Amino acid sequence: MAFSTSASVISTNLDNMLRGLYRDNADHAVTGTTSETDMASTTITGGTIGATGALLIIASGTITNSASGAKTIKLYLGATAIVTISRTAANAQDWAIWCLIANTSEGAQRITAIYSTTDAATSSINDTTAAIDTSTNAILKLTGTLASGSDTITGTIFDVLEVQIQ
């Protein structure tokens, strides 16, 4: 439903909407460490999603390396890891995550994630459930962990959209 160009927005216009909640499209590199390191994060304020809302997260970046050890990217909501990508290939590659976290109540979610790297046949689809309390503040974050500090994981896109469907 398009908004009227000549009238005021009324509450029923907002019953079904998609809106940008957070964007960080700067490069955030993890290198020189083997500790799990935040690449991007935002606080999802309690009650923002509501009992039937959802978050759509789009994240991507690159992996460059000189070693063939694991390079791990994780997406968290609160303390729960929603998506984990771990690659051991010794070649440079791109990675991407598309994730929908849909509340069935403020304390229960259905999560669908599609994630991939550019080296051969590594696309995955994850369909799971979680019990994260979204009525209170929760950190949504993207992290990177390297087996070798000489490798690099870079996050280049971290977009978070809120989906409301009434």
CATH code of residue 79: 2.60.120
The C-alpha atoms of residue 162 and residue 140 are separated, in whole angstroms, by: 13
Measured CA to CA, the distance from residue 107 to residue 29 in angstroms comes to 33
pLDDT of 120 reads 47
- Give me the number of domains the chain comprises: 1
Would you state the pLDDT for residue 117?
Answer: 76
**pLDDT level of residue 143 (50, 70, 90 thresholds):** very high
Q: What is the pLDDT of residue 152?
A: 93
- Domain of residue 60, residue span: 15-164
pLDDT at 123 over 90: no
Residue 1 lies inside a defined structural domain of this protein: no
C-alpha 70/C-alpha 153 separation (Å) is: 11
Q: How many Å apart are CA 71 and CA 10, to the nearest integer? A: 48
39: exposed, middle or buried (C-beta count within 10 Å: 0-12, 13-18, 19+)? buried
For 7-62, write each residue's pLDDT tens digit: 555 555 566 777 889 999 999 999 999 999 999 999 999 998 889 999 999 999 99
Is residue 5 in a domain?
A: no
What is the separation, in whole angstroms, between the first and last Cα of the chain? 13
Domain membership flag for residue 128: yes
Within a domain: 3: no
Residue with the larger pLDDT of the pair 18 and 105: 105
Q: How far apart are CA 107 and CA 90, in angstroms?
A: 40
Q: For the chain, percent helix, then strand, then coil, each to nearest 5?
A: 0, 60, 40
Q: Would you say residue 114 has pLDDT above 80?
A: yes
Q: How many whole angstroms separate alpha carbon 59 and alpha carbon 151? A: 20
Query: Is there a domain that residue 8 lies in?
Result: no
Asked if the structure places residue 59 within a domain, the reply is yes
User: Tokens 């809302």 belong to which residue?
Assistant: 53
Asked if the structure places residue 9 within a domain, the reply is no
**pLDDT at residue 3, rounded to an integer:** 47
Work out the percent of the chain whose per-residue pLDDT is above 70.
Answer: 85
pLDDT surpasses 90 at 78: yes
Greater confidence, 166 or 99?
Answer: 99
pTM: 0.86
